[in-house]
Amino acid sequence: MLQLQELLQERYQIQRQLGNNGIRQTWLAKDLQAKDDQNSLVVVKLLSFGGAIQWDDLKLFEREAQILKQLNHPFIPKYIDYFCIDDSHLWFGLVQEYIPGKPLKEKLHQEGKFTEKNTQTIAVQVLKILSYLHELKPGVLHRDIKPSNLIWGEDNQIYLVDFGAVQDKAAKESVTFTVVGTYGYAPMEQFGGRTVPGSDLYALGATLIHLLTGICPADLPQQDLRIQFTDYINLSLAFENWLKKITEPSPDNRFSNANEALNALQSGEIYFANREIKHLDIKDVINNSGCGILNKYAQVPDDILGWNWGAFLMPCLWLWTNKVWPGLICFVPIIGFVMAITLGFKGNEWAWKSRRWRSIEQFKHHQKGWAIGGMMIGAPVSIIFWLFSLSYLLDFIF
């Protein structure tokens, strides 16, 4: 066991332990040869060879060092050094850049479940990293994406760390690989020794589900090997179906690559798995609510189109329960009345797209309640307000 302030290779001064999984020890250390003292902290991973450590563990450790040395991405820790210590027993060490921040697992534990917006931001950043890794020649597969391996940096960027399970795609698929990955996040094909780019996509999807629900994917119910998460969260339809597609059990039914997944996420496209189309009732097809207010492709059911009295008469209150955030403009003097008229005209369409509704009937009932409230409260208050404003204006003129 290393001691605090102990010096390795006459260069790395041990500060504190970051982790110990029984096979590897991870330490925070200070690089005494660093040119910039402010960036002198590094991560030192140590593998003690012998005892329970097998050759496969050493191969994975060396592969991590070799591939990390080849990578050059702003959101992947940079390789610094690799060494061997032959003391009372043999030690192998890997030194890499330290990323100040919190693992998403720790952030989830301390701050609770992530919002859909934050989760989508994380997805976009990780997909860009995966796109870089998968498009290398040969491509690189991480094989162990999970909340503890994603760091929310102090600069509010997401970093992908721990390449201990990484695989170089130059290896032939017919070769039997060491089984790596974490149960609940790794797809079935990975435990069968076959890993493809879609395997990393599945792990990302499972990670996002964990962040949204607060429940480890391994503890969520499954049906036909599909993670059943929709009962635990309320998401927009587009994002819900995107998560379903990226976590399909069969790699052939997932997105073909990280770029496709990224484009689909950013465009707000809605995916229905082929297995579901045959069983969809017409009402389910029509219920595309929550697809996003900017989604110009989604058709709003004819049953809900028309003037929205609740949005027109009580815009300052109506917008909150319907999550129509452009309505905040109604608080701006002068142009606020123009927005109230706009909400009356577009309110039903925007409300349908802005949040998820169980059914058209629920939507109608909700808007009817606001219309009644608008007639009984909003209209009288508005009349009094405008009469007062008119009286004040006349007094000012004459």
Provide the token pair at 212. 């949204």
Residue (of 30, 22, 23) closest to 4 by Cα position? 30
User: What does the pLDDT read at residue 285?
Assistant: 42
DSSP string, 165-216: T-EETTS-TTSPPPP-S-TTTS-HHHHTT---HHHHHHHHHHHHHHHHHSS-
The whole-angstrom separation of Cα 364 and Cα 370 is 10
User: What does the pLDDT read at residue 269?
Assistant: 64
Which CATH superfamily, name and number, covers 101-280? Answer: Transferase(Phosphotransferase) domain 1 (1.10.510.10)
The one-letter amino acid code at 174 reads: S
User: What does the pLDDT read at residue 194?
Assistant: 80
Residue (of 265, 322, 297, 276) closest to 131 by Cα position? 265
Alpha-helical (H) ranges within 268-328 are 274-277, 282-286, 309-313, 315-322
Residue (of 255, 247, 59, 80) closest to 166 by Cα position? 59
The whole-angstrom separation of Cα 87 and Cα 92 is 11
User: What does the pLDDT read at residue 228?
Assistant: 94
User: Cα–Cα distances in Å, from 269 out to 127, 175, 239, 272?
Assistant: 16, 37, 9, 10
The whole-angstrom separation of Cα 392 and Cα 311 is 26
User: Cα–Cα distances in Å, from 156 out to 14, 104, 126, 302, 369?
Assistant: 27, 12, 13, 43, 41
The one-letter amino acid code at 189 reads: E
The whole-angstrom separation of Cα 113 and Cα 116 is 10
Residue (of 67, 31, 294) closest to 162 by Cα position? 67
Beta carbons of 141 and 200 less than 8 angstroms apart: yes
Q: pLDDT tens per residue, the chain (398 residues)?
A: 677 888 888 899 999 998 887 678 899 999 999 888 778 899 999 887 765 556 777 888 888 888 889 999 999 999 999 998 876 677 888 999 999 999 999 999 999 999 999 999 999 999 999 999 999 988 899 989 999 999 999 999 999 998 877 665 544 443 444 556 788 999 988 887 788 899 999 999 999 999 999 999 999 999 999 999 998 998 888 899 999 999 999 999 999 999 999 999 987 765 554 444 334 343 444 467 777 787 766 678 877 889 998 888 888 889 899 999 888 888 887 787 788 889 999 999 999 888 888 888 889 999 999 999 888 887 787 777 667 766 766 777 76
Beta carbons of 354 and 322 less than 8 angstroms apart: yes
Beta carbons of 290 and 355 less than 8 angstroms apart: yes
User: What does the pLDDT read at residue 52?
Assistant: 58
Provide the token pair at 163. 């390449």
The whole-angstrom separation of Cα 270 and Cα 291 is 8
The whole-angstrom separation of Cα 388 and Cα 367 is 29
User: What does the pLDDT read at residue 278?
Assistant: 38
The whole-angstrom separation of Cα 160 and Cα 162 is 7
Residue (of 338, 335, 347) closest to 309 by Cα position? 347
Beta bridge partners of 49: 90
Does pTM surpass 0.75? Answer: no
Alpha-helical (H) ranges within the chain are 55-70, 104-111, 116-134, 188-191, 197-213, 237-246, 258-267, 274-277, 282-286, 309-313, 315-322, 335-354, 360-373, 379-397
Structural domain boundaries in the chain: 7-97, 101-280, 302-397
Give the CA count within 13 Å in the CB-facing half-sphere of 121: 11
The whole-angstrom separation of Cα 22 and Cα 52 is 9
Residue (of 366, 334, 331) closest to 347 by Cα position? 366
Beta carbons of 40 and 30 less than 8 angstroms apart: yes
Beta bridge partners of 150: 160
The whole-angstrom separation of Cα 359 and Cα 282 is 12
Topology (CATH level 3) of domain 7-97: Phosphorylase Kinase; domain 1 (3.30.200)
Residue 109 carries which DSSP code? H
